[in-house]
Amino acid sequence: MDLKNLLNREQYEAVAAVDGPLLILAGAGSGKTRVLTYRVAHMIKDLNIYPSKILAITFTNKAAGEMKDRIKELVGDEVEGMWISTFHSSCVRILRREIDKLGYNKNFAIYDSYDQKVLIKQCMEELNINDKDITDREIINKISGQKDILVSPEQFKRENEGNFRINKIADVYLLYQKKLKDNNALDFDDLIYKTVQLFKEHPDVLEFYQRKFEYIMVDEYQDTNRSQYEFVKLLAQGHKNICVVGDDDQCIYAWRGADVRNILDFEQDYPNAKVIKLEQNYRSKGNILKAANDVISNNSNRKKKVLRTESENGDKIKLYRAYSDLEEGRYVAFKIRDMVNRDEKRQYKDFAVLYRTNAQSRIFEDAFMKSNIPYRIIGGLKFYDRKEIKDIMAYLKFINNPLDDISLRRIINVPKRNIGDSTVQKIQGFANSMEESLYNVILDVDEVSNLSKRSINSIKKFVSIINSFIKSRDKIPVSSLIREILDITGYLDELKDSKEADSISRVENLKELVSAASEFETTSEDTSLSAFLEKVTLVSDIDNFDDNADSVVLMTVHSAKGLEFPVVFMVGMENGIFPGMQSLDSAKEMEESRRLCYVGITRAKEQLYMTSAETRRVFGRTVSYQQSDFVDEISRELKEYDTVKENNINSYSNRVLNNNAFLWKKKAVSSNLSEAAGISAERDVPGDKYLKPEGIKEGIKVRHSKFGVGTIVSISKSGSDIKLTIVFDKMGIKNLMYGIVPLEAV
Show which residues are catalytic: 32-33, 219-220, 250, 603
284 phi and psi angles, rounded to 5 deg: -105, 155
604 is in an annotated binding site: no
730 is in an annotated binding site: no
Instruction: Show Cβ contacts of residue 684 under 8 Å, excluding neighbours closer than 6 positions.
Output: none
For residue 153, whether the previous peptide bond is cis, meaning omega lies within 30 degrees of 0, is no
In the chain, the amino acid numbered 97 is R
Q: Residue 555 pairs with which residues in a beta bridge?
A: 354
* CA-wise closest residue to 389 among 424, 414, 358, 420: 414
**What are the C-alpha distances in Å from 342 to residues 130, 450, 645?**
60, 75, 17
d(CA 580, CA 560): 18
27 is in an annotated binding site: yes
Burial of 344 (0-12, 13-18, 19+ CB in 10 A): exposed
29 is in an annotated binding site: yes
- CA atoms 128, 132, 137, 142: torsion sign: negative
**What are the C-alpha distances in Å from 573 to residues 229, 617, 635, 679, 733?**
34, 15, 16, 32, 23
Helix, strand or coil for residue 408?
helix
Helix, strand or coil for residue 701?
strand
d(CA 430, CA 424): 10
352 is in an annotated binding site: no
Are 224 and 83 in contact, with CB atoms under 8 Å apart?
no
Element (H, E) at 711: strand 708-718
Instruction: Show Cβ contacts of residue 462 under 8 Å, excluding neighbours closer than 6 positions.
Output: 412, 417, 419, 442
346 Rama sector, left if φ>0, alpha if ψ -120 to 50, beta otherwise: beta
d(CA 332, CA 609): 9
DSSP 499-550: --TTHHHHHHHHHHHHHHHHHHHHH-S--SHHHHHHHHHT--GGGG--TT--
∠528-529-534 over CA atoms, to 5°?
100
* CA-wise closest residue to 494 among 416, 554, 441, 421: 416
DSSP state of 589: H
Burial of 21 (0-12, 13-18, 19+ CB in 10 A): buried
d(CA 378, CA 491): 29
Are 253 and 92 in contact, with CB atoms under 8 Å apart?
no
Total Cβ atoms within 10 A of residue 32: 21
708 is in an annotated binding site: no
The separation between CA 254 and the C-alpha centre of its own chain, rounded to angstroms, equals 14
Helix, strand or coil for residue 728?
strand
d(CA 65, CA 540): 13
101 is in an annotated binding site: no
613 is in an annotated binding site: no
d(CA 339, CA 346): 7
d(CA 11, CA 24): 9
* CA-wise closest residue to 673 among 688, 687, 692, 700: 692
Burial of 63 (0-12, 13-18, 19+ CB in 10 A): buried
3 state SS for 433-486: HHCCCHHHHHHCHHHCCCCCHHHHHHHHHHHHHHHHHHHHCCCCCHHHHHHHHH
Annotated binding site for ATP: 26-33
Annotated binding site: 26-33
